[in-house]
Every structure is written in C-alpha cells, then in structure tokens.
Structure 1
Amino acid sequence: MAYTVFLVEDNQDLNSILQKYLENAGYTVEAFLDGFCAQQKIRETPDLWILDIMLPDTTGYTLFKEIKAIHPDIPVIFISAKNQEIDRVVGLELGCDDYISKPFLPRELILKTQKLLERKNGTKPHRHAINKINDYTIHRENHTIHHEGVSISLTSKEFELLLFFIDHPNRVFSREQILERLWDKNYYGSDRVVDDTVRRIRKKMPKLSIETVYGYGYRYRLVNG
C-alpha cells in the first residue's frame, strides 16, 4: 500500500516537480500552494507532511505546531530557503523529523522521505505475523482469526481493512483515504462500501474497537487486553 504525503510548497513550479517525483516513487501525494488550504486538511492523517517554511499566508512553523497538536506522531520534513541556517536550527528545536535546504535535487527529498518513513514504520511491533488483540488471535500470513477456539471467517477485503486498522492504531481515517489505500484505483462506486465493510467486521468481531468519527470516518482504538 502506498504511503500518503501532504506537500506544502508555494512555488508552483517546484510544487509540481516535487509532486511528480514523489508520485513516481510510489507515494500518494496531495499538494498545497498556501497555508490556508493545508490547514483545512490538518485533521487528516497522511503518513508524512513536507512543509515549506516560508509561505504567503503563514509559516511552516505555524503549520507544524498545529499538526503536532493533533497528530504528534506524524513525521514532518521542513523545506527552507537558501542558506537560512537559522531555519534549520529553529526547525530542529521545534522537533521536525528532517530538514532540507533549497536548492536541492528532487531525488534528495525522495531519499529523505523513504528513510524517514522506513524508520517510522518499518519496525513497529504491531506488524508481527501474529497479533493478539482483545482475545482475538490474528494470523497475517494465512489470513485466519481465532477467538476462544472458534475460527472467524473474513473476506479478503475485510481482512485487509482489519490489518489496515491494526497497523494504524488511534489514527482517524476518512472514507476517501481508506478507499484510496485499499480499493483498486479504478473503483468508482460509493464510499459507503467502506461503511459496509466496517459493519461486517464489527459484527464478526464485536470486541474490536473500531470507532465511528461522525461526519468523517473511522478510527481503530487500541485497547490492551
């Protein structure tokens, strides 16, 4: 599944170039030319934000603080103007995950993105072959689930969505985001297919805490036990 990257860069030419490079590298990219448009998406949960520090209507620092106040675990890469060493210092003091200075080769940003996402997501314990959650034993490799000695049967799409939730605990995803990640790109049906799939998972696995975020989407709430 492709990672989702939100890119904020006010230079339209550079914005388009970076978006194309990121997409060619396999990422799903949503690009913004100003802070206002980016702020409308702050409650969404991409895998990475890339923020230009100097924007026409705000600063990358302000966006960074707003993002981290809601989603402290989502990594951020800052893009700084040429030779602005103070930007790097301030960015690192704020807690950004990485930093790149203009001018730079797009490939350099791709490499930083790859390494950062691998570091953030590559060794998470919930990606083990077997998960034990709320008395459910979930075997990833053979797509089986057991609860108190009883086998639970899920369709391939139900199982795929289940693993998606398990791999992203406590994060809110819109129906559109779930569709983009789990359904074929040629799917043109209603996003209610997500609701139907969640409903079936809940019916089959009632102890699993998949919460509805009304007017938006869903969140899997990780509960020990």
Structure 2
Amino acid sequence: MPGGKKTVSRLIYVVDDEANIRNLIQAYLKKEGYEVEVFGSGEEMLAKFNEQKPHMCIIDIMMPGIDGYELCRKIRDKSDIPIIIVSARDEELDKILGLELGGDDYLTKPFSPRELVTRVKTVFRRVRPVQPKERQILTVGNVNIFIDERRVEVNGVEVELTTKEFDLLCHLCLNKNKAFTRDELLNKVWGYDYYGRSRAVDDVIKRLRKKFRDCNGKINIKTVWGYGYKVEE
C-alpha cells in the first residue's frame, strides 16, 4: 500500500489433535492478521519449533503421544515465548498445573474463537517489556532481579521462581512502596479477569515469601490489610 506502514505479522503455532478446532482457530487468527501454522500432534509441532521459533504457541492438553503438559515443559526448556493452553479439562488443579508449567493463559473448551483472539492480544500486550530501559538489574535488600534474564539471586545464589512468581515480584519491586489491590495485580500480572480471582494472588505471594524466607532473602512483601500487597523498601 503506497505510503502505508509495512506490518510484520506474528507467527503462532497451534497444536490440537482435532482438525476442526485447529482449523477454526487458524481461520480466526488469520483474520486478525496473524500468521498461523497448525499441527495435529505435539511431536509435529516440536519438530517445527526446533527449526523455527514462533511468537506464541496455542497448545491442547489432551493429545496422544506428547501431551500438552509435556510439550509445555519442552518449550520452556528452550524458550520463554507466550503459551496459551486450551483444554476440555476444567478442574482447578489442571489449570494450576498448566500455568505452573509455564502457560501464560488457560482456556477451557468449548470456547468462543473471539474470546481466544482476545486472550491472544492480551497476552501479547502483557509480554512487552515493562522495565526501565536504563536499568536491567533491580535490587531490593539482598535480592537481585535480573529483568531481561528473568532470574533472581539472593547473595549470589539463584532462587528458582515460576513465571507468575517472577512477574508478580518484578511488578511489585518496580513499584516499591506502592500498594496494589488484588484485582490490580490480577490485571497487571495475569492480564485479564483470571479464573482464580484473589486466591491466585494470595497463593503466589505465599510461595514467594516462603522461598525468600528459606534462603534468607531480605525483601519485605507486606500485606496491606483490607487492600492488597506492596513491597516495602
């Protein structure tokens, strides 16, 4: 188009053993301008992933061979790209497991293709860098947060955090002394009206406190009673 900007479409891999579902997802995402490749098995997608990394993966859980959980593990060993999980399994433990294995979102079948498109856009917005350009290492007490590398050290020893633990810690530490409600943290870290509501925030805060207590991390994640949480300097 003369005088117009050339846009580079984002590449999304979709894996589902049901052809009608993956083709429906592909049609809706292509309509929104995304480049989409579909696969019928985890093995097929993983082979392609090793050749060319996409900007996002949409993964079904219940598949023969490599299931969605194992596929998430293998992808997270290689990359930090966004992953959206779609599954007919809607038990809370299934959702928690999917998110703990590195999923950025979890959508239960049957779902509206329009809702999936909205989730894709939301996740892409959320993974944009939020850190100040001139400061890639954030220090609070004896805790060093390496933002670009997505890792945390206490006195030079690395602390293993899940995706959501790191994102929540990073957000609170980038806004030290500012209190956030649980709903604000859900919107900022999870990116939408998350299924677990305030319990999800409370659980992640509880795990962060325990991990830093176990390694003598001097970071004060304070409860603001009747309101939410903040990291206090």
TM-score range, shorter chain: 0.5 to 0.7
Query: For the Cα contact (< 8 Å) 1:61–1:91, is it kept in 2?
Result: yes
The answer on 1:103 being equivalent to 2:103 is: no
Q: Deviations over 1:164-190 (max 9, x none)?
A: xxxxx99xxxxxxxxxxxxxxxxxxxx
Other-structure match for 2:27: 20
In the TM superposition, structure 1's runs of 4+ consecutive aligned residues that sit over 3 Å from their partners are 82-85, 122-126
The answer on 1:88 being equivalent to 2:95 is: yes
Between the two proteins, the alignment pairs up a number of residues equal to 128
TM-superposed CA distance for 1:31, in Å, is: 0.5
TM-superposed CA distance for 1:85, in Å, is: 3.2
Of residues 37, 40, 46, the one that matches 1:39 is 46
TM-superposed CA distance for 1:124, in Å, is: 7.1
After superposition, the Cα gap between the structure-2 partners of 1:28 and 1:96, relative to the gap in structure 1 and judged at 3 Å, is same
Other-structure match for 2:75: 67
Distance 2:119 2:76 in 1: 20
TM-superposed CA distance for 1:125, in Å, is: 6.5
TM-score (norm 2): 0.51
Query: For the Cα contact (< 8 Å) 1:9–1:32, is it kept in 2?
Result: yes
TM-superposed CA distance for 1:123, in Å, is: 4.9
State the superposition RMSD in angstroms. Answer: 2.2
Other-structure match for 1:56: 64
Distance 2:89 2:69 in 1: 17
TM-superposed CA distance for 1:55, in Å, is: 0.8
Percent identity of equivalent pairs: 37
Distance 1:122 1:111 in 2: 20
Query: For the Cα contact (< 8 Å) 1:42–1:66, is it kept in 2?
Result: no
Q: Deviations over 1:43-65 (max 9, x none)?
A: 22211000000112221111111
TM-superposed CA distance for 1:82, in Å, is: 4.6
Pairing of 1:124-143 with structure 2 (within 5 A): none
The answer on 1:6 being equivalent to 2:13 is: yes
TM-superposed CA distance for 1:112, in Å, is: 0.3
